[in-house]
Chain A
Amino acid sequence: MAENKLPNMSENILEMIDITKTFPGVKALDSVNLKVKKGEIHALVGENGAGKSTLMSVLSGIYPYGSYTGDILFEGSICNFKDIKESEKKGIVIIHQELALSPYMSIAENIFLGNEQSNKGIIDWNKTHSEAKKFIDLVGLKENHNTLVRDIGVGKQQLVEIAKALSKDVKLLILDEPTAALNDDDSEHLLNLLMKINKEKGISCIIISHKLNEVTKIADQITVIRDGRTIETLVKHVDEISEARIIRGMVGRDLTDRFPKRTPNIGEVRFEVKNWTVYDPMDETRKRIDNVNFNVKRGEIVGIAGLMGSGRTELAMSIFGKAYGKHITGELYKDGEQLIVKDVRQAIQKGLAYVTEDRKTAGLVLIEDIKKNVTLSNLQKISNWHVVNQNKELVVAEEYRGKLNIKSSSIHQKTGNLSGGNQQKVVLSKWIFSEPEILILDEPTRGIDVGAKYEIYTIIQNLANEGKSVIVISSELPEILGVCDRVYVMNEGKIVGEMGRSEATQESIMACILQSSS
């Protein structure tokens, strides 16, 4: 390596050069560069939505050649992957956050899923089992190869995924948040395993992680991505590698004029959540929300910051008429009086509104038009004896179309044909029309362009100025800092911090999350 005698290609197993990927209205990746050396562990860090997962989807062929611009060089040759099969053939294997295992099949069957050990189309079970055992031992999994995947924990399932990757003769292993759902012991084991296969088998790894302590521990190089751009690559033993240094790279950007000016007029406490605990509806032993306490005041915008999977959506939905979770305990108070809400309709009647994080799957009826979506949660208001007054409905829909500036051909346009920003305005109209006092907005600007974001922020501020209490859940820290008067930080189902507007910074919030991570 001294005189740089070797050509570049033998040193870098992977080079992604000037990768640009646009979605309608959004530039997800903007000339991103990533170079991974042969045999190293390369960490990819950045905030939610920075473009890490998009970049890996480009690499693995999920976004096929032609849907992006730029070049991918793998082992020195240009690759134009049309699908994930082609990239796997070359030895690039990606393990997603949501595991791709079939729960009712055995560990052995899962290891060879799509790569069955067969002879002329007939499965060779002896070979399957003996080969599977080898990989099971290799990854240190202490389970029988016949055990069903649904019967083992997430940590072990993660190991099955790695065994599956190893069975495919992997050269570059990509792991997307591999330890997000694991406890300490399992995380430790997984990281050790990664270092082991990296050293012994010479497999290169790309690891995407929010847990910076892990990243600093195992990575040889760290590439920081922000807003779809490569910011910097930190090299072990050359650059300073510390959590604070990485955070600075992740969040450093200016916030001028992205948010409307606000002069808050905050009153007394309006809504309180006390000792709120919720269990997972699928796995009733798993606590998703753990003894959460918080409050919102009249005219206040409160932010809930946290990483994806920290339980923010679960918290909001469990409050909103128990739309999520089992064995919910704790109390809700509105204006000092206890609030009993058994279902979503009661929650709406008692003045709560919840704008879902995913407007397409849970917010709108996409095949119906604007007017029918706007009135959906409060049809009674325009009905006599359960008969909808459709003339009144037209008036209401026109009113909101004007007030929230919904750009559309008419109120008869199907919401499925609107842009993201305008869809979100329809959802907001629906909830404003339900006349709530407390609004919970979950990722209100996700996938929306900057101009529409500003309009949404203005709507949020106007709601607060009218005396409503607003809770904003967001993964984008600048957004939280730009619109909220007070911030709660959530991690692993708990509230781990509370900050006023003046104390909250991206660094302090990030630090709060990272310090509380187990």
Chain B
Amino acid sequence: MDRIKNIFKQNMKQYSMLIALIVIMAMFQILTGGILLKPINVSRLIFQNSYILILAIGMLLCILTGGNIDLSVGSIVAFVSALSALFSVTFGLPVWVSIPLGLLAGLVAGMWQGFWIAYVRIPPFIVTLAGMLLFRGINNIILGGQTVLLPEAYTVISSGVIPDFLGGSSNIHVTTLVIGVAFAIMYCVISFIIRKDKMKYDFEVATSSFFIAKLVAVSLIIVLFAYWLALANGLPFILILLGVLILIYSFLTNKTVVGRHIYAMGGNQKAAALSGIKTKRILFWVYANMGLLAAVAGIVFAGRLNSASPTAGDGFELDAIAACFIGGASATGGVGTIMGAIIGGFIMGILNNGMSIMGISVFWQQIVKGLVLLAAIAFDVYSKYKTKTAH
């Protein structure tokens, strides 16, 4: 019991965000009269928030390196969506060429900013503020201030669901359900392997009953979620993309040398540099990566609107930054997780969605979101203060 308490204490911040998410979900479930968690609305929540979540992943890495933020991501979203129009409509290139080109452009934009930040040592705030103006301007030049319609393939990425290979009855998407079950099994198998590896080193592991209970609970949630999506239209492509990105970046931050270096740098840049960590190179690639992910978000967003527009991505940077901080990232760097940022993003998304369903005006929505962000950071500062004085 003490151990569980201990684990809970150590991960308090993350759990508290998860609990906050569940509380907010429950609250809106009641306030909206059960609309919030209807299958079709769950599916909509994923579509609506996907691009912010993709941006939040990249933003988290920037923040981890030392509380650095990227203000330009909204403009890079616009820039890449404009390029998509340019490549696929004006030049008439096929989608399988125009999408990689768009991603490449985002990466280059990120490298451009990474160069100024890491090697010329201009503060990220200023470089990305400049980028915010710069890339928005390029978007306007390319589009000539007009909105341009995109080919259908873009829409499929952002709003499509996987086809139901297994046919089945009309109101349930069988393939989605099968994938859900497969995923749950995969989770169990991997958990078993990790546990066995730990036992090989003679490390303490959870009791087998606790372990099995956890596996059952998580598997149940996965299958239930898949069932919910199956009741709607099925598994969205964008969710697969998002899942893959979450897996890749969680692995990167938790398990790799690079990930460790990013955290160490944010925790103490001087100590990291004197431990042989190439802090400049990390800063450069973190911003380059942010550019790439902004390009992914840009293509998804363009697809969602089915067009490239001069105002695309306006204010996205702030939503992404807020998601990271609500999700427990430290404003000075070195603390934060990918899952936290995703949870933070969903909290923002559910606030938006829930209040919209309730018919609350956009103006009030902004006020509520602002207060939630402030409360999250205040909680962070307060808990830090408390742990400091405890010793």
Q: Which residues of A contact B (CB under 8 A)?
A: 320-321, 323, 343-345, 347-349, 354, 356, 361-368, 372, 376-377, 379-380, 383, 386-388, 390-391, 394-395, 412, 417, 430, 434
Contact B276 A344 (CB under 8 A): yes
Complex Cα–Cα for A323 and B271 (A): 11
Contact A365 B255 (CB under 8 A): no
Complex Cα–Cα for A142 and B7 (A): 67
Contact A366 B268 (CB under 8 A): yes
Complex Cα–Cα for A387 and B254 (A): 9
Complex Cα–Cα for A361 and B269 (A): 9
Within 8 Å by CB of B257, from A320, A388, A391, lies A388
Within 8 Å by CB of A386, from B10, B256, B275, lies B256
Within 8 Å by CB of A377, from B201, B267, B275, B278, lies B275
Contact A379 B270 (CB under 8 A): no
Interface string of B333-354 (1 = CB under 8 A from A): 0110000000000000000000
Main secondary structure of the interface of B (DSSP, over half): helix
Contact B273 A344 (CB under 8 A): yes
Contact B271 A344 (CB under 8 A): no
Within 8 Å by CB of B268, from A361, A377, A379, lies A361
Chain B: minimal CB distance from A179 (Å):
30
Q: Which residues of B contact A344 (CB under 8 A)?
A: 273-276
Contact A364 B276 (CB under 8 A): no
Please name the residue on chain A nearest to B267 by beta carbon.
A365
A356 and B274 in contact, given A368-B264, A368-B334, A386-B257 (Cβ under 8 angstroms): yes
Q: Which residues of A contact B276 (CB under 8 A)?
A: 321, 343-345, 347-349, 377, 434
Interface string of B354-391 (1 = CB under 8 A from A): 00000000000000000000000000000000000001
Complex Cα–Cα for A70 and B340 (A): 52
Q: Which residues of B contact A390 (CB under 8 A)?
A: 255
Q: Which residues of B contact A367 (CB under 8 A)?
A: 267-268, 330, 334-335
Chain A: minimal CB distance from B357 (Å):
40
Say yes or no for B197: interface residue by CB 8 A criterion: yes
Contact B260 A372 (CB under 8 A): yes
Interface size class of B (residues with CB under 8 A): 20 to 34
Q: Which residues of B contact A362 (CB under 8 A)?
A: 268, 270-271, 274
Q: Which residues of A contact B263 (CB under 8 A)?
A: 365, 368, 372
Say yes or no for B210: interface residue by CB 8 A criterion: no
Within 8 Å by CB of B267, from A347, A366, A388, A395, lies A366
Contact A365 B334 (CB under 8 A): yes
Chain A: minimal CB distance from B192 (Å):
15
Complex Cα–Cα for A417 and B334 (A): 17
Say yes or no for B272: interface residue by CB 8 A criterion: yes
Contact A372 B264 (CB under 8 A): yes
Contact A365 B257 (CB under 8 A): no
Within 8 Å by CB of A395, from B201, B258, B270, lies B201
Complex Cα–Cα for A344 and B263 (A): 19
Complex Cα–Cα for A340 and B278 (A): 18
Say yes or no for B38: interface residue by CB 8 A criterion: no
Q: Which residues of B contact A395 (CB under 8 A)?
A: 201
Q: Which residues of B contact A343 (CB under 8 A)?
A: 276, 278
Q: Which residues of A contact B10 (CB under 8 A)?
A: 412
Interface string of B301-343 (1 = CB under 8 A from A): 0000000000000000000000000000010001100000000
Interface string of B20-48 (1 = CB under 8 A from A): 00000000000000000000000000000
Complex Cα–Cα for A366 and B334 (A): 10
* 11 cross-chain CB contacts under 8 A: A320-B274, A345-B276, A345-B277, A349-B276, A363-B271, A368-B263, A368-B267, A387-B257, A391-B197, A391-B198, A394-B201
Contact A387 B268 (CB under 8 A): no
Contact B257 A380 (CB under 8 A): yes
Chain A: minimal CB distance from B41 (Å):
39
Which 7 pairs, one residue from A and one from B, show the smallest C-beta to C-beta distance? Answer: A365-B267, A345-B276, A377-B275, A348-B276, A362-B270, A365-B268, A379-B257
Please name the residue on chain B nearest to A394 by beta carbon.
B203
Q: Which residues of B contact A383 (CB under 8 A)?
A: 256-257
Complex Cα–Cα for A321 and B276 (A): 9
Within 8 Å by CB of A364, from B200, B271, B278, B335, lies B271
Q: Which residues of A contact B272 (CB under 8 A)?
A: 365, 376
Chain B residues numbered 176-205 whose CB sits less than 8 Å from any CB in chain A = 197-198, 200-201, 203
Complex Cα–Cα for A320 and B197 (A): 38
Contact B255 A388 (CB under 8 A): yes
A348-B276, A368-B263, A380-B257 provided; 5 other pairs, C-beta below 8 A? A349-B276, A356-B271, A388-B259, A391-B198, A430-B275
Within 8 Å by CB of B275, from A349, A376, A380, A391, lies A376
